[in-house]
Structure 1
């Protein structure tokens, strides 16, 4: 079973959307390869018994998710990063594995905030860890060849972020916070081992990137999606969905806070889902900004099950993305 299917299998054990997102955050593969990450990679579990206990804890939480909702479904948490932080903080506070010491610890120098340590935690074996969390969604932009990709070829959909820049920031600034003199003065007994907790999904240009060799820093098991330009999306729509009847397939725009775990949609929503799917196809033919969509298929029991995810980008986006990937910052 491949890594994506294994994650989907774990996530599908839970019905509640927020519990599914937490399970995804705990069990999805790291984006980076341990040997090329530049720092130790975090793991939520020190042992197989902790992993098994976490699965049982998630099952109980799925039966009564109200406490998790009270923490993670805060209307003020409109940014995906804040939402992911709230999920991980809940696990460290209430879960059966590592325990939370402090979260979002600010460091100040001459009354100026120079950064925040995302999580300080202790483990059953006595380790004291500093985790920096990053949940990232980047699109690969290449030249159409089968060349080895660079980390700078993975860019944020709105071209405000790039994987190589984020990686360097994590290594040189965020992970170093717990070793600064300003941190030592806060009174947290150490020493602290800084680790990267980096999850997400990388999107490749549909069949155009079939032979691309991912950047060496990336983990072999990283989760993948696809992207198409608006014109390519329109062309595929006009050709029809080969191999799947229109009555059994639908498209949904994924709001940002639904970018983590795969989703299931209720049978009762089927008619509205199909009608909205047709409108999505038409609207995204003139996409003004990158938009994540997901394809859903009707399962045997009538439930709609997510099959794939991708971005529809404006036709001029690839040229702008290539320029951004080559920009020295």
Structure 2
């Protein structure tokens, strides 16, 4: 990343990320889940250049990108965003987006995620998160918020007729592993686009560069990235995200990964 730009503020990266969001497939199978249809974004005008000023976390940045794309979409209108649902003085949750499309109000829950195939599960790079847990929460809790009595009482003028998920990101296979890919939840195989490994398994027949946190969506040109010094992988304590010289992304995880695998969700 250009040192002149703080995280999530490089204009060329932001514009590339808008295009990435339009073209990247859902992580989840559209045959099994109520996902926002991919064709909805094709073709769509790109937003005018804007500056992101939110928190330097990729989830907040992704939601901002989507907000901008909805705003310039000829057939979508953003009715509301981040609607807090309160019950007995406590916040029960927040609805990500209420969107009008073809005359109907839709409830969208959105996320950008990166998962690694391990032991029949898709685990997050820090192994504290898992795709099965995320999907269960989005279906059972987040999408249910727009039917909750507290929402209906607080916002009687909003009655969504459809509920959809928009989960993008990337899935990573275990390098040189013979294990089959996880069988739940059903994923879109077009979103599988990288490898992961422990430090001692990183191939030596290619060059690697280091990705900053705001370069995880649209992958920059290899020549523009700082090159990996392999000595930095000795005693690795945090997962690092790399790009090889064939433009394939990699996660290299610490030798003790995954130290604490989250329990399976109850729906399984």
TM over 0.5, yes or no? Answer: yes
Counterparts of 1:138-287 in structure 2, within 5 Å, are 138-142=115-119, 149=120, 153-184=121-152, 185-209=154-178, 212-215=180-183, 217-233=186-202, 236-237=203-204, 240-241=205-206, 250-264=207-221, 276-279=226-229, 281-287=230-236
1:42 counterpart = 2:36: yes
Please identify which structure carries the higher helix content. Answer: 1
SS of corresponding position for 1:293:
strand
> Which residue, 12, 19, 31 being the options, matches 2:15?
19
Deviations 1:43-79 (A, max 9, x none): 2655xxx723x1xx22xx5xx52xx2x2xx21x4211
Contact 1:294 1:309 in 2 (8 A): yes
Counterpart secondary structure, 1:137: strand
Instruction: Provide the aligned length of Structure 1 versus Structure 2.
Output: 254
For residues 328 and 93 of structure 1, what CA distance do their matches in structure 2 show? 35
Cα distance in 2, alignment partners of residues 41 and 114 from structure 1: 23
User: Any conservation in 2 of the 1:45–1:97 contact (CA below 8 Å)?
Assistant: no
Residue 264 of structure 1, CA deviation? 2.3
2:241 maps to which of 292, 295, 302: 292
Question: Could you tell me the TM-score, scaled by structure 2's length?
Answer: 0.85
Counterparts of 1:45 and 1:310, CA distance in 2: 28
Listed as ranges, the gaps of 5+ residues in structure 2 are 1-10
Q: Deviations over 1:263-308 (max 9, x none)?
A: 1266xx5xxx5xx4252x22023311211111246xxxxxxxxx11
Q: CA deviation at 1:16?
A: 2.5
How many Å apart are 1:32 and its aligned residue?
Answer: 1.1
Q: Is the CA contact (8 Å cut-off) linking 1:45 and 1:98 kept in structure 2? A: no
Task: Write out per-residue CA displacement over residues 92-139 of structure 1, whole angstroms, 9 at most, x where no aligned residue.
Answer: 12232311001111111122111111000101x212111000111111
- Decide which structure has the larger Cα Rg and report it: 1
Residues 27 and 169 of structure 2 are in contact (CA less than 8 Å); yes or no, is this contact kept in structure 1?
Answer: yes
Structure 1 pair 327–126 and aligned structure 2 pair: CA distance change class (3 A): closer
Query: What TM-score, normalized by structure 1, do the two folds share?
Result: 0.70
User: Shift of the alpha carbon at 1:257?
Assistant: 2.1
Q: What RMSD, in angstroms, separates the aligned Cα atoms of the two structures? A: 2.4
